[in-house]
Amino acid sequence: MKKKIMIEGMSCEHCVAHVKEALEPMAKESVEVSLEGKYALLDTQSEDKDLIEALDEAGYDVKSIEKI
């Protein structure tokens, strides 16, 4: 299932790489992260709570998760 995660706390390309690294183990394919849009797109079967936990451990706050 494709999900769009709105993320707070990203401010640079290093943050983008860190978010990708946190989410890639749960993605079926690659993770797309937008610094300007403050979101990540991924195809995953993971529960929302697991995505939130992974990003929290990486130091980022999840504003919302939308199924697309």
For position 2, what pLDDT does the model report?
Answer: 97
For position 56, what pLDDT does the model report?
Answer: 98
For position 63, what pLDDT does the model report?
Answer: 98
As to burial, measured by CB atoms within 10 angstroms (0-12 exposed, 13-18 middle, 19+ buried), residue 58 is: middle
> How many domains, the chain?
1
Residue whose token pair is 């979101």: 39
Range of the domain at 45: 2-67
For position 54, what pLDDT does the model report?
Answer: 98
For position 27, what pLDDT does the model report?
Answer: 96
What are the mean pLDDT values of the chain's consecutive 10-residue runs (68 residues total)?
97 97 95 98 97 98 97
For position 43, what pLDDT does the model report?
Answer: 97
**What CATH number is given to the structural domain containing 53?**
3.30.70.100
